[in-house]
Amino acid sequence: MVMQRFCDSHKESAFDIMPITFFVEIPDATKEQSVTQALAPFVLFYQTLETNREKLVSMKETLIRQLNLKIELEEKEKEDAAT
């Protein structure tokens, strides 16, 4: 719920931030310690993403630019081969 509120307030999709699915098995949801232990790996992963968010966004943008340049180059090569 916290992530949903964060994404809603920042007009972002949760899958832009974290396109990874976690399945969390909680052996006994009535015990708080069991829930905490089961969620710990997810929380650690999410905190790591948040800490490095700017770097990750920059890397994503760089990769998108490189992919677009590659596509443009391939299209130009096809046009040149056709002429």
Q: Model confidence over 19-78: pLDDT tens digits?
A: 667 777 777 878 888 888 888 888 888 888 888 888 988 988 998 899 999 999 999 999
> Which two three-digit tokens encode residue 71?
């596509």
Alpha-carbon distance of 39 to 36, in angstroms, equals 5
**Better-scored residue on pLDDT, 43 or 2:** 43
Joined together, the tokens standing for residue 52 give 């490095």
pLDDT, position 2: 66
Q: What is the pLDDT of residue 66?
A: 93
| pLDDT for position 35 | 84
* pTM for this predicted structure: 0.47
Q: Where are the domains of the chain?
A: 1-45, 52-83
Q: Calculate the CA 9 to chain-centre distance.
A: 17
CA 30 to chain centre: 31
Residue type, 75: E
Q: Please, which pLDDT band fits residue 14 given cuts at 50, 70 and 90?
A: low
